[in-house]
Structure 1
């Protein structure tokens, strides 16, 4: 996304910042362009931010922008649903190389992401099953964290140590996940899932705009296969592979391999995958052990030029197998057991 800033007082521009206008209020970029093109040649209509309610109109000439501002600012526009537009000049800020590298295309299928061990199955559960699962988790007790709510079954995940206490078992997994476990074991696309007895479940509830920091699930805490079922709302999950595994100096044993300020480190590969509701994600092998995964803290996601507003909530069911003993994976640079 190009970055635009407010110009100095009295300075004109060929770009206009237009508020109360955008996909989130039911106005496509094409519909917006059809109105503004009456004032001159338009180079493009761009999202001004992630809200979906503000756009940038880029004209070829300053005179066209000035005419559009004088005619439309604060005036109800019949062609745009009678909305009163709030318009001001905007300047294109020079783009640095770091800003260019911050852009990452979003894939729809795991095969397009091309990370070994990463799988995504769309419509893993039906809409009715999704509703039943949400009702089941909402009947149980939530634990509040700083920005989201969680539930733990089998073993509790300890966020201070980023691990589980294998000596403190909470009991069997809840019955509402039994059909999911049976379905996992029956899909050959999930490799050797039929041979794994998953015994830990974390339910996360994400409000709009809340994501997940970049991290690798602690190697010594869980076995290879990690399943995550998305319910109620979509999101984009980004994957990052660091040259050194993403470890900070002097990482304590049994902690997650995590980068506190990943944007400051340009030495990584980035890929992104769109997770629609009712889809099942599997991270295994390299995808599980060597790639950080994270959910951007956005209220609006852009997928193939389509703006998607996050739902009022997104609930994920993450199923794992607690590891007993050290990890002996093929990625020692990322492994807390081997560092």
Structure 2
């Protein structure tokens, strides 16, 4: 799949919410976070992206043109002390059409859970603040990561075993880390989740780091491994999540973390229902009931997503915090065709 291309505006006086910034980047020692810290003073950012393969030029994308205009006026041609005193060369940049990009709106992308219309799905936007987001990212980056084939993970409470798609309840890693305590307290007190359970108890956390282009294969979290409520907090970068419901249930694959459906082609949508939702940074998703037990969820392996006509490029990383409660005993859900305990 082709990436979106940025180029010069047709008219020199044409403004844009995107800035092409030269003389900074990873090749000269600047991380995306450092660059974002400089430009975010002028307004909300969509992200910082590599402009090309040089490592010395980036695209800084703002949410609005006014913020981009202010940043260009203040920083163009000036030495930036926060970026090693390098003089930044900035101009407007616009998204160019790419006829080789076959991103299609196959199904409408929902922005809210009510629009998605799947029982048991809840989505809370801006569940945490930008400062809390940065603190959580710093906390996990100070701890060791485990490398999988295409992404990095951390496990807390109990380790998830990808070979068995389950957890070993006899091997407890300890309490969940203190840096997620405010998140857990907010989940317990959030009015949106009051009708899901009398008391929300979570004892397992998996942190996933997704580079651009990396997603998840369609799967249902193993019924016998976890209880009903599954919370996922999205940090750093956006993505879309697709839900699929196969009427004939599924089978258990050895290449993933849980149940995946048996389907000849992942893109053959003739035998399942599809729904798609957009997950912005700092949002919290809850899967419960039917959504947790009967719908496969899937993050396409894309570097860009198309959200109702708007092209959104994945950030340099997306980090998710998935909170669950380890199940003791068999699952007795109302969806036996999808349940490993009842098959």
TM-score for the superposition, normalised by structure 1: 0.70
What runs of 5+ residues in structure 2 fail to find an aligned partner? 15-50, 53-90
What's 2:260 paired with?
258
Distance 1:328 1:185, change over 3 A: same
Secondary structure of 1:294's match? Answer: strand
Name which of 154, 166, 188 aligns with 2:157: 154
State the 1:264 CA deviation.
4.2
**Superposed CA offset, 1:256-304 (max 9, x none):** 2212543346210000000000000000000000000010001111112
Name which of 131, 135, 143 aligns with 1:128: 131
* Rounded Cα–Cα distance in structure 2 between residues aligned with 1:26 and 1:322: 53
- Is residue 322 from structure 1 mapped to residue 322 from structure 2 by the alignment? no
CA RMSD of aligned residues (A): 3.3
**Superposed CA offset, 1:191-215 (max 9, x none):** 2455121000000000001000000
Greater Cα radius of gyration, structure 1 or 2: 1
Distance 1:26 1:272, change over 3 A: farther
> Contact 2:240/2:277 (CA < 8 Å) preserved in 1?
yes
Q: How does 1:1-339 map to 2 (within 5 A)?
A: 24-25=6-7, 103-190=106-193, 191-193=195-197, 195-247=199-251, 256-259=258-261, 261-264=265-268, 266-339=270-343
State the 1:24 CA deviation.
4.5
> Contact 1:24/1:309 (CA < 8 Å) preserved in 2?
no
* Rounded Cα–Cα distance in structure 2 between residues aligned with 1:192 and 1:290: 17
What runs of 5+ residues in structure 1 fail to find an aligned partner? 4-18, 32-51, 54-79, 94-98
> Contact 2:246/2:261 (CA < 8 Å) preserved in 1?
no
Secondary structure of 2:167's match? Answer: strand
TM-score for the superposition, normalised by structure 2: 0.69
What is the total number of aligned residue pairs between the two structures?
Answer: 261
> Contact 1:185/1:194 (CA < 8 Å) preserved in 2?
no
State the 1:245 CA deviation.
1.7
